[in-house]
Amino acid sequence: MELSRILERVEGSRSAMASDISGIIRIPAIGPSNGGTGELARADHVQSLLKGFDSVERYDTPDRFHPDVIRPNIVAKRNGSGKGTVWIVSHLDTVPPGDLDKWVSPPFEPRAEGGRVYGLGAEDNGQAIISSIYAAKAIPPGRLSGRSMGLAIVADEETTSAMGVEHLLKQGCFTEDDFIIVPDWGTEGGTMIEVAEKHLLWVKFTIKGRQTHGSVPHKGINALRVGTDFLSDLMDRLDKAYGDEDPYFRPPGSTLEPTRASPTVENVNTIPGIYEFWMDCRIIPSQDPDEILGLMRSVAAEHSERTGAEISAEVEQKTLAGAPSATDTEEFAVFLEAVRSVAEGDVETVGVGGGTCANFFRLRGLNAYVWQFGGGSLHQPNEYVEIDNIVKDAKVYATMFYRLCV
């Protein structure tokens, strides 16, 4: 069968895609540490949509923190004669719906309107589940003479990934010969392919001074005054030391931002004895998170020495970024060409500050690429997916399967 015929099949699946994504939205899939009951019911339903594969396997695992909840992972494959598998990795779980009053229609009741389907998880990551299933469906039956074709539909992306993609990696589901697409981020015109991510570092700073009456500040140590002085000096010095840019990334430099702060005292006339603030740092790969932490701690020691307050800096989360995925391979060229055929503008490869499943592959030396048509409504009330975006995504994946697997 010719590629044009395969793409017509995808185009002809529009209404089936809209109905299948609605079926997914109706089944909540919020992880237990986000207050939900997990993804099991949604996984069983999604598995029922998988037709024509040589194998459909489950890699379910009990939740580490809520062992009564099973976290499901689906791996569907059509075997090819060639080495390696072309994968599309999507995730089942969603974030919680947030403030229900902000939803025009209930988050678990799909609403079709103006070429869109609204509902929690429609874009993140229902779009990828449906587009990958329909891309695979469009490939005619029979022996694949190229690489194998695989869909991995995982749990736990919105929290730790330990019981999702990490679990599959530990079970040996992926190899160095694989080509992996993770459709979990995208721009409106489908013009950016994410091939790298920044290191992530969250730091909590605690300033312990001495509380006293507002009229006699010299008898105490004002933790808020020490903390704000320290923070302002720290930001200056971090900017000077880590101002380098890597033009590959959007934005190009590291972002080292104070985000959260604790309340101090309830009343105006007390000198606060304790103050805490946090920083969210997204660090370009050429810079070392431990070195940045070292500078934070040495500035803290100086301010501590000068003021008599105790200042500590503790790591709350640190995730190193894997090496950027290769863009000089035959598979990438095929993928890029497929993206170009639908993208609305010039296609670029970029690095971003956010974190996706792709980093878990990169940390193990595997190449993974993040791409889809983005709508920009994810993690927001009234999340929606454009059916057109599912169709365009599916055409790219079907083209990729056709060229690399068939």
For Zn ion, the binding residues (CB under 5 A) are 124-125, 184
- CA angle, corner 57, sides to 53 and 62, nearest 5? 155
Return the number of the residue (92 or 203) whose C-beta is nearest Zn ion.
92
Helices (H) and strands (E) in the chain, counts: 10, 20
**Count of other CB atoms within 10 angstroms of residue 267:** 7
Q: Where are the alpha helices (DSSP H) in 89-153?
A: 127-138
Return the number of the residue (184 or 331) whose C-beta is nearest Zn ion.
184
Closest residue to Zn ion, judged by C-beta, is 124
Return the number of the residue (178 or 383) whose C-beta is nearest Zn ion.
383
| Smallest gap from residue 224 Cβ to Zn ion (A) | 38
Return the number of the residue (184 or 194) whose C-beta is nearest Zn ion.
184
Options 20, 39, 93, 184, the catalytic residue: 93
**156 near 31, Cβ under 8 Å?**
yes
**292 near 201, Cβ under 8 Å?**
yes
**Gap between the Cα atoms of 110 and 364, Å rounded:** 38
157 an active-site residue?
Answer: yes
**375 near 384, Cβ under 8 Å?**
yes
276 an active-site residue?
Answer: no
Return the number of the residue (63 or 184) whose C-beta is nearest Zn ion.
184
**Gap between the Cα atoms of 247 and 350, Å rounded:** 9
Task: Find tokens 């923190």 and name the residue.
Answer: 65
- 87 to each of 169, 248, 362, how far by Cα in Å? 13, 25, 14
Return the number of the residue (93 or 331) whose C-beta is nearest Zn ion.
93
- 60 to each of 36, 69, 72, 155, 328, how far by Cα in Å? 17, 10, 4, 9, 35
**Could you tell me whether strands 249-250 and 348-352 are parallel, antiparallel, or unpaired per DSSP bridges?**
parallel
Task: Find tokens 């469906």 and name the residue.
Answer: 137
**Gap between the Cα atoms of 173 and 169, Å rounded:** 6
**136 near 52, Cβ under 8 Å?**
yes
- Residues annotated as catalytic are 93, 157
